[in-house]
């Protein structure tokens, strides 16, 4: 199953619904060093957030968004997939409908 193409770029809810979400947990030191320091929180435990929103997120939630560090984003960001439980929770927090999955 897969989500419609581009759904994440028109959403961004997972990157803006909780400052507790973008935490580092499985990254090794080499991976963490690739993330620009301005996007890492003061305790070095996760992404810096502005309110609940990840500081690396650009654009407007539910309209058009992008990750400013997409190629080096942490594992927690890579694991969240369109339509999974975390995606659904995040989308609901912004009043966005759940993603209808399509068969491949």
Transcribe 25-74 into DSSP letters. Answer: SS--HHHHHTS-GGGB-TTSSBB-EETTEETTEEEETTTEEEETTGGG--
Q: Which DSSP letter does residue 14 get?
A: G
pLDDT for the residue numbered 102: 52
State pTM to two decimals.
0.85
What's the pLDDT at 100?
A: 72
Q: DSSP assignment, residue 102?
A: B
Question: Under DSSP, is residue 80 helix (H, G, I), strand (E, B) or coil?
Answer: coil
Sign of the torsion formed by the C-alpha atoms of 82, 18, 55 and 10: positive
Give pLDDT tens digits for 48-104: 999 999 999 999 999 999 999 999 999 999 988 899 999 999 999 999 998 876 544
For residues 1 and 40, give the distance between their C-alpha atoms in angstroms, rounded to a whole number: 33
Task: Tell me whether residue 18 is exposed, middle or buried, using C-beta atoms within 10 angstroms of its C-beta: 0 to 12, 13 to 18, 19 or more.
Answer: middle
pLDDT band at 6 (very low <50, low <70, confident <90, very high): confident
């Amino acid at each position: 199953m897969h989500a419609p193409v581009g759904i994440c770029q028109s959403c961004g809810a997972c990157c803006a619904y909780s400052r507790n979400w973008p935490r580092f947990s499985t990254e090794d030191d080499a991976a963490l060093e690739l993330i620009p320091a301005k996007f890492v929180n003061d305790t070095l435990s996760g992404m810096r957030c502005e309110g609940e929103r990840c500081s690396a997120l650009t654009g407007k939630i539910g309209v058009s968004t992008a990750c400013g560090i997409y190629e080096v984003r942490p594992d927690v960001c890579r694991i969240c997939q369109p339509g999974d439980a975390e995606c659904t929770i995040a989308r609901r927090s912004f009043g966005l409908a759940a993603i209808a999955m399509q068969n491949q």
